[in-house]
Structure 1
Amino acid sequence: MDSISRIRQASLIFNAIDVAAERAATCRERFRSCVASWRAYDSRFANCPIIAAKAVEKRIKTIALIMSTRET
């Protein structure tokens, strides 16, 4: 893999991480808002950071798979 391909791959990975981080932040805000508004626990948002982390992991694996198939 040449350096341009590595840079592109790194860029894709960092973009995926940025998107997931934004989603996690949005989810945390929703969770805080829900708790503040209703003074109750809303299970819809309980696993949000975990879901976001899994989404990042899945996206990185997908990008790695795409990049590895392009090399061959």
Structure 2
Amino acid sequence: MTALERMLTKALAEIVIGLDHSGDDAIAPEAVMPLLEPIITLLDGLSGQDPRTLVDLITNTQTRRAIQTVS
């Protein structure tokens, strides 16, 4: 994975995690799913090591956000 691909993956993870963790008062759940569905469809097409790499990057992003929240 190139540096650009890694950065774009992290940016995508930030967006998805932000939408997923937004409260109902911030953005209505029925507004979130239409935003996430095209992303989900694209990610379903991943193969090889890519799904594991994506999971690792998302996990690292969530961990980093949790640490920042506690600090």
Task: Look at both structures and tell me which one has the larger radius of gyration over its CA atoms.
Answer: 1
Q: Which has more helix, going by share of residues?
A: 1
Same fold (TM over 0.5): no
TM-score, structure 1 normalization: 0.41
Q: Which has the higher contact order (CA 8 A, sep 6+)?
A: 2
For normalisation by structure 2, the TM-score amounts to 0.42
